[in-house]
A and B are shown apart, each in its own frame.
Chain A
């Protein structure tokens, strides 16, 4: 349904406005194996792609995507700590944080 905004003006109007002021914060953490770390899963996927006749693939690396739904005020430093302490194992993995 595509009701014009004016329909909601009046009773209850404060709620959508406050939601608009503080949209849900999301962050997306992409975890990949460091360069030089053997990726057996990537290799298997590569092999399977070749088996399907896709010849143009030079290399495959498999990783992980973790989406975080965050409370207001969660800082970049907080997310960084989450990555270092749990989400990624920095011995073998890199992480990239994107805020949405």
Chain B
């Protein structure tokens, strides 16, 4: 499996994500700068990492969504390439329109940085197939704008179509219906606020995040 990690000015989880991709696939990912207009040939999985792309100007992810490389990412997603957006990457994917909804300021106003319990709401996707249905896992979050919002009809549709991948098992940021991660219609794009790449080695204090990368590597 060939992977790529997108790098924006202000990304700060790109190298952690690259390590997680390499551990799962055995190959170093291509690091792709935001000014690129094309992705390398034959990429199977694109990571949109966490951080503070473009200083979170205007809205988190809003400027990155307009960068040249995101057009290439959108085209690839349309052709079925796997796209994983984590934290700021999730915000970028909603701003790009690859995923529905928006991520607003945390309901408690404060930046939340801690390990949180999640429930795997869909264990059938390419991203989550190594988890058991309703499995409770521990993954860290670190965000200011993680409060997932979508209108009631969109939320009903996401739930009805099994597109909620993860839910918070505890109150974290005020997200609608405790949604922590959502899939696109085709099931090949996942956005999530928690950081699985920060729970992928024994030294991280757990391996619950590693299963996501292993699932993708075998997808």
Q: Is the CB of A89 within 8 A of B95?
A: yes
Distance (whole angstroms) from the CB of A99 to the closest CB of chain B = 21
Tell yes or no: A3 within 8 A of B by CB: no
Smallest CB gap from A33: residue in B: B104
Pick from B59, B108, B151: contact of A89, CB below 8 A.
B59
Interface size class of B (residues with CB under 8 A): 20 to 34
Q: Is the CB of A91 within 8 A of B149?
A: yes
In A29-53, which residues have CB < 8 Å from any B CB?
37-38, 40-41, 44
Main DSSP-derived SS at the B contact region: loop
Q: Can you give 19 A-B contacts (C-beta < 8 A)?
A: A37-B104, A38-B147, A38-B149, A38-B174, A40-B104, A40-B105, A40-B106, A40-B107, A41-B105, A44-B109, A86-B58, A86-B66, A89-B62, A89-B102, A91-B100, A91-B102, A91-B151, A92-B102, A92-B104
Q: Bound complex: CA of A87 vs CA of B62, how far in Å?
A: 9
Q: Bound complex: CA of A37 vs CA of B176, how far in Å?
A: 11
A residues bordering B, Cβ < 8 Å?
Answer: 37-38, 40-41, 44, 86-87, 89, 91-92
Smallest CB gap from B106: residue in A: A40
Contacting residues, chain A, for B102 (C-beta < 8 A): 89, 91-92
> What 10 A-B pairs come out closest when comparing CB atoms?
A91-B102, A92-B102, A40-B105, A40-B109, A44-B109, A40-B107, A89-B102, A92-B149, A89-B59, A41-B105
Pick from A38, A86, A91, A92: contact of B107, CB below 8 A.
A38
Q: Knowing that A40-B106, A91-B151, A92-B104 touch, tell me 9 more A-B residue pairs with CB under 8 angstroms.
A: A37-B104, A38-B149, A40-B105, A40-B147, A40-B174, A86-B66, A91-B101, A91-B149, A91-B150
Contacting residues, chain A, for B62 (C-beta < 8 A): 86, 89
Q: Is the CB of B105 within 8 A of A37?
A: no
Contacting residues, chain B, for A40 (C-beta < 8 A): 104-109, 147, 174
B residues bordering A, Cβ < 8 Å?
Answer: 58-59, 62, 66, 94-95, 100-102, 104-109, 147, 149-151, 174
Smallest CB gap from B151: residue in A: A91
Q: Bound complex: CA of A96 vs CA of B94, how far in Å?
A: 23
Q: Is the CB of A38 within 8 A of B104?
A: yes
Smallest CB gap from A85: residue in B: B66
Smallest CB gap from B154: residue in A: A91
Contacting residues, chain A, for B94 (C-beta < 8 A): 91
Smallest CB gap from B150: residue in A: A91
Distance (whole angstroms) from the CB of B211 to the closest CB of chain A = 31
Contacting residues, chain A, for B109 (C-beta < 8 A): 40-41, 44
Smallest CB gap from A43: residue in B: B109
Smallest CB gap from A47: residue in B: B109
Distance (whole angstroms) from the CB of B60 to the closest CB of chain A = 10
Distance (whole angstroms) from the CB of B166 to the closest CB of chain A = 20
Distance (whole angstroms) from the CB of A89 to the closest CB of chain B = 6
Q: Bound complex: CA of A65 vs CA of B16, how far in Å?
A: 37
